[in-house]
Structure 1
């Protein structure tokens, strides 16, 4: 493989890293990590509810045959007043690992440009460094997925309503599902994994090219001695 094609592989990782970073940023900023319906147990046929929220904010719409009423949701405030709403440590862990994953994705985009323009053999700056940063992004994104799945199966699937709503006989049990904000993280994970493959190919080719001249030099030296 020529140097041009190796550089092309590395440059491709720039666009994939941009996509990964954009997906992680969208996941952190959008309000659809969870989407759920709701019913009032007292009159389920005449009531309906739609709830969606992200890591920080959301919206709740409830209708009891008098028309839809919309309420904004502050996730942090609700957790503070109602600890049973979400597991705080799962929430904090999700936010933390995704913020760090976003940072490593940005680092990957910068290093992709640097390695396209120049050739560096430094551990965390060269092509081998690109493998590390993309793998770290992939790993952290997977951690975020795992933490939110734990949140979903221990808390969210049973309730996404406040105490006041539950006091008015509203229920969302078994009506919740994972929203598109969550799937953004899955997409970012896949993108980072693709980058690991691309950078591994480019790095292997680089290593092959550096080893061959050394072997040739030793062979030539042996012939001259002979």
Structure 2
């Protein structure tokens, strides 16, 4: 913050002089003191003689303090392999029971989610949720189902839910950025469920469900 002191351009040193009449002193406002036979010994005062009165003025100008906007940090929940491991374990059990017809799709889904867990990330920046891929957090391109970029502002969120809180499997949210009437999204929870829930509450508002244990 800057403070600027502006005084009149001419200065006088006044010592041991008697003045009769009224002395008017103004410093940052109107504080008037009337006195006679006053000795003025201080220097660097600017005065104007007008009907035996002296007017001492000073003007302060306050600089504007710039307030730096604080942005929220970017949060990337850790990957969580529990769902693909459970699916692959279930597929293994079905194979053991000689139920290959059921084991095949369950095993393929487990392998797909295992692969996605290693590469897909939810990135929560200051204003939006974005789906990115890889350790370098590269852009994921357009959404293959509804089109548009896989990035949605928190302000466009209508509601969201985490199913199920104690062992989250799916995260659901509805947003109006893709289309005005609202677009629904479902994603498997291949991230740390507690971290995901906490950041969703912070950035998108509270959910109807309780947080995961």
TM-score, reference length from structure 2:
0.24
Greater fraction strand: 2
Larger-gyration structure (1/2): 2
TM-score, reference length from structure 1:
0.23
Greater fraction helix: 1
